[in-house]
């Protein structure tokens, strides 16, 4: 089998996230954009991957279509480690984190889809086998910045059956509004997106949210690669700390773990090197006694691949699902039902994207 074409296909859809002002309000997102990566072969098997995402999509598409696609033509897709290693070495000086690694992540996912389809097996079978038929999803609420809207949408997520909820709020009145709107046994995750300028502010915030059944505080400080500072917040803060969505490689994840920075590591399959990297990262996380809960606020093959990854995980962890209704979801079957997403058993990723 040989690769005959590699194509980046930008997809964009409008969305509703429970804010009457719409995405034009305090949110930087105007649409949900992502890059589908289509890899075709000479025996008629097509694989799908996804490269991160949002406003960077046109750039990643150009990198994929003009730089990386020509290097894949004629290659044998079954040799995933060999091909991915050659591509990484060839393009490493154009960026170890960013458009190049996002595009490579998409190719890796597509190669795994091809391998599973060629074997006539669902992807999870190649990842060690399915340990559950459905994976719990956590509602990842976008930022509202308004206690009333936060409370309304938290209550809506609870009513839809979610049993874990993440906020992207930084104001305590908004976080308290969410806590009041959800039964206390439902844990909250608090994503700060690196907003606090230093350890002191982050530790103070962690103290303020203690006792609120918070599973983790995510990316507490700027910059995200200051692992020593994050480790200090972890030691002083008294709540669980999560980070890792900005990691571009296995080596970067290793450094984060070695620094003792996190309780939960959150690599993103469309950014960090795809399924191959995620498998290695899980091995390292287990070695360090740290949980791995992937970052996946996207809706394409990356979300689907993350579902297979979690279905095959020894320890059950939730799938991040952006709390937004898309006008045209690439995979309608991935919309959680009663807080769970069913794991498909058809060969490969199990679904073809609706384009």
Which residues of the shown chain bind Mg ion in the complex (CB under 5 A)?
191
Smallest distance, Å, CB 20 to Mg ion? Answer: 25
What is the number of other CB atoms lying within 10 angstroms of the CB of residue 347? Answer: 17
CA angle 37, 39, 45 (to 5 degrees): 135
CA neighbor of 138 nearest in space, from 348, 297, 344 = 297
Smallest distance, Å, CB 307 to Mg ion? Answer: 18
Which is nearer to Mg ion, 149 or 217 (by Cβ)?
A: 217
Smallest distance, Å, CB 224 to Mg ion? Answer: 10
**Stretch (H or E) spanning 23:** none
Smallest distance, Å, CB 96 to Mg ion? Answer: 20
CA neighbor of 89 nearest in space, from 78, 77, 98, 81 = 81
Q: 169 with 143: CB under 8 angstroms?
A: yes
Smallest distance, Å, CB 218 to Mg ion? Answer: 5
Q: 50 with 71: CB under 8 angstroms?
A: no
User: What does the alpha-carbon distance between residue 57 and residue 86 come to, in Å, rounded to a whole number?
Assistant: 24
Which is nearer to Mg ion, 117 or 166 (by Cβ)?
A: 166
Which is nearer to Mg ion, 146 or 219 (by Cβ)?
A: 219
Which is nearer to Mg ion, 263 or 345 (by Cβ)?
A: 263
The pair of three-digit structure tokens given for residue 288, joined into one six-digit string: 């360090």
Smallest distance, Å, CB 240 to Mg ion? Answer: 14
User: What does the alpha-carbon distance between residue 158 and residue 166 come to, in Å, rounded to a whole number?
Assistant: 12
Q: 53 with 105: CB under 8 angstroms?
A: no
The pair of three-digit structure tokens given for residue 272, joined into one six-digit string: 């960090």
Which is nearer to Mg ion, 75 or 191 (by Cβ)?
A: 191
Which is nearer to Mg ion, 45 or 194 (by Cβ)?
A: 194
- DSSP assigned state of 205: H
């Amino acid at each position: 089998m040989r690769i005959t074409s590699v194509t980046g296909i930008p997809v964009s859809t409008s969305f509703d996230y429970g804010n009457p002002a719409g995405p034009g309000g305090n949110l930087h997102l105007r649409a949900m954009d992502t890059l589908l990566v289509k890899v075709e072969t000479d025996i008629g098997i097509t694989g799908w991957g996804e490269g991160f995402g949002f406003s960077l999509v046109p750039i990643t598409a150009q990198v994929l279509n003009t730089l990386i696609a020509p290097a894949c033509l004629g290659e044998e897709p079954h040799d995933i480690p060999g091909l991915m290693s050659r591509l990484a070495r060839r393009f490493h000086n154009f960026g170890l984190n960013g458009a190049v690694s996002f595009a490579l992540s998409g190719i890796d996912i597509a190669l795994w889809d091809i391998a599973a389809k060629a074997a006539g097996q669902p992807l999870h079978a190649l990842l060690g086998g399915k340990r559950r038929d459905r994976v719990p999803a956590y509602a990842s609420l976008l930022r509202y910045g308004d206690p009333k809207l936060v409370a309304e949408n938290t209550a809506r997520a609870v009513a839809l059956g979610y049993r874990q909820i993440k906020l992207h709020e930084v104001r305590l009145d908004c976080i308290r509004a969410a806590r009041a709107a959800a039964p206390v046994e439902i844990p909250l995750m608090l994503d700060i997106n690196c907003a606090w300028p230093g350890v002191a502010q982050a530790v103070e915030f962690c103290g303020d949210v203690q006792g609120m059944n918070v599973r983790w505080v995510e990316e507490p400080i700027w910059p995200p690669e200051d692992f020593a500072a994050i480790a200090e917040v972890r030691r002083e803060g008294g709540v669980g700390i999560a980070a890792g969505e900005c990691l571009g490689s296995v080596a970067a994840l290793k450094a984060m773990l070695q620094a003792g920075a996190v309780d939960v590591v959150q690599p993103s399959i469309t950014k960090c090197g795809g399924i191959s990297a995620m498998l290695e990262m899980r091995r390292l996380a287990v070695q360090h006694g740290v949980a791995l809960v992937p970052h996946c606020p996207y809706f394409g093959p990356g979300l689907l691949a993350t579902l297979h990854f979690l279905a095959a995980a020894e320890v059950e962890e939730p799938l991040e699902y952006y709390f937004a209704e898309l006008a045209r979801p690439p995979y309608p079957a991935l919309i959680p039902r009663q807080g769970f997403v069913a794991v498909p058993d058809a060969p490969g990723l199990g679904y073809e994207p609706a384009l």
